[in-house]
Amino acid sequence: KKHPMTVGGKVPSRAARVASSSENQKKLYERWLKEQKKLRIQHVAGQFPHRLPTEARVAKWIAGQGWEQNVPSAAKVVAAWKPSGDLQDIPTSQAIRKNVSSQKWKGLVIAHMEKKGRGVMTTRKFHAGEVICDYRGELVTHEEGLRIHATTSQEETGYMFFFKNQAGKRLCIDAHLDRCACHPDRQTFRRLMNHSSKRANVKPRLFRLNFESGDRDVLLLMAARDTEEGQELMFDYSVQKHQFRGEGLDLEWLI
Ligand SMILES: C[S@@+](CC[C@H](N)C(=O)[O-])C[C@H]1O[C@@H](n2cnc3c(N)ncnc32)[C@H](O)[C@@H]1O
């Protein structure tokens, strides 16, 4: 109580510790530093609330604090990291906006899945509640989505995501092309996530993100549970067989 420990504080001087207890001054010193290190690790991890940061980003943040002693390593912060932020903060999260704008989501790779065609696999662990990526495509009205759906080949209609936004407006993210107009150099491969109703480890959630150009509806794909490296990512498409177009389609996988 006499020497409260804080993230930015300095360990009490020897004289101050001895004044409190000459017998326990060394213990007090060691305990104070140990607890501060733990608190600093949690504090630094909390600066990256929705997505696992790289060690380089963490190291840069730590360097900016001007801490002279008891500095936690970036590796320890990354190892202890878990999503900590409130989902309500996502619309204003600079880190998420940056990833949506740049489309440089890391930790994912396209793989061939037996009997499913292509799919998306993890190249690192994702923590429950972490933002994995966005579902990228052209945002169109529900009516426009239906028109594209009716005039696109049967294989490609599987890449269209129909939803209702917070204002109750029905919209569609059309990802039937493998590039979006704003990032012609990047494949929108998150559209390749396959379906599972029972083993889904991803949950799509709609957010209205605040960009400088104005607010925009963005579908974020979030980790529904802890998912190790090398796992296939799947979400529940929440569709019924009759919503697919065309007679004679093999929809046995839609269970
Ligand atoms: C959005 S795409 C997913 C990527 C697709 N596998 C590909 O190679 O382009 C949806 C299509 O993938 C296939 N698919 C999705 N989930 C599946 C599953 N659990 N089992 C088998 N096929 C699946 C179906 O053909 C579906 O129409």
Q: What is the per-residue pLDDT across 141-190, written as a single tens digit (0 to 9) for each?
A: 999 999 998 888 877 778 889 999 989 999 999 998 888 778 888 777 88
What is the domain count for the chain? 2
The Cα 184–Cα 76 span in angstroms is 38
Say if residue 91 is in the same domain as residue 67. Answer: no
- Residue 253: CB within 6 Å of ligand 1? yes
pLDDT at 246: 60
Say if residue 21 is in the same domain as residue 63. Answer: yes
Q: Which of 40, 65, 80 represents a domain boundary (last residue)?
A: 80
- List 171's β-bridge partners, or say none: 141, 163
Residue bearing tokens 């090398």: 230
pLDDT at 184: 82
Would you say 88 and 218 are in contact if contact means Cβ atoms under 8 Å apart? no
- List 138's β-bridge partners, or say none: 174
Say if residue 201 is in the same domain as residue 136. Answer: yes
pLDDT at 97: 95
Mean pLDDT taken over the chain: 92
For residue 36, give the H/E element and its range.
helix 25-45
Tokens linked to 191: 């559209």
Tokens linked to 235: 């979400």
Does position 217 have pLDDT exceeding 80, yes or no?
Answer: yes
Please state the atom number of ligand 1 nearest to the C-alpha of residue 175: 1
Label residue 247 by pLDDT band (50, 70, 90). Answer: low
Say if residue 161 is in the same domain as residue 39. Answer: no
* Ramachandran class of 32: left when φ > 0, alpha when ψ lies in -120 to 50, beta otherwise: alpha
Say if residue 217 is in the same domain as residue 100. Answer: yes
Q: Which residue has the least CA distance to atom 24 on ligand 1? A: 116
Q: Which residue has the least CA distance to atom 10 on ligand 1? A: 158
Label residue 216 by pLDDT band (50, 70, 90). Answer: very high
Say if residue 196 is in the same domain as residue 98. Answer: yes
33 part of a folded domain? yes
Q: Give whole-number Cα distances, 40 to 2, 50, 55, in Å.
A: 20, 18, 15
- Residue 159: CB within 6 Å of ligand 1? yes
- Residue 122: CB within 6 Å of ligand 1? no
pLDDT at 195: 95
Query: What is the DSSP code (8-state) at residue 198?
Result: S
Å from CA of 9 to ligand 1 middle: 54
Query: What's the burial of 123, exposed, middle or buried (CB within 10 Å: 0-12/13-18/19+)?
Result: exposed
Å from CA of 117 to ligand 1 middle: 6
Å from CA of 6 to ligand 1 middle: 51
Residue 115 lies in domain: 87-243
Does position 250 have pLDDT exceeding 80, yes or no?
Answer: no
9 part of a folded domain? no
Would you say 218 and 100 are in contact if contact means Cβ atoms under 8 Å apart? yes
- Residue 190: CB within 6 Å of ligand 1? no
Higher pLDDT, residue 223 or 179? 223
Say if residue 101 is in the same domain as residue 70. Answer: no
**Phi first, then psi: what are they for 122, rounded to 5°?**
-90, 145
Higher pLDDT, residue 98 or 244? 98
Does position 255 have pLDDT exceeding 90, yes or no?
Answer: no
Å from CA of 119 to ligand 1 middle: 8
Of all residues in the chain, what percent carry a pLDDT higher than 90? Answer: 78
Q: Give whole-number Cα distances, 210 to 94, 139, 149, 181, 242, in Å.
A: 9, 16, 29, 20, 36
State whether residue 90 is helix, strand or coil: helix
Does position 248 have pLDDT exceeding 70, yes or no?
Answer: no
Span 49-58, average pLDDT = 96
One-letter identity of residue 84? S
- Residue 246: CB within 6 Å of ligand 1? no
Please state the atom number of ligand 1 nearest to the C-alpha of residue 253: 20
pLDDT at 187: 78
Q: Which of 35, 51, 80 represents a domain boundary (last residue)?
A: 80
pLDDT, tens digit (0-9, with 9 covering 90-100), for 77-132: 999 999 998 999 999 999 999 999 999 899 999 999 999 999 999 999 999 999 99
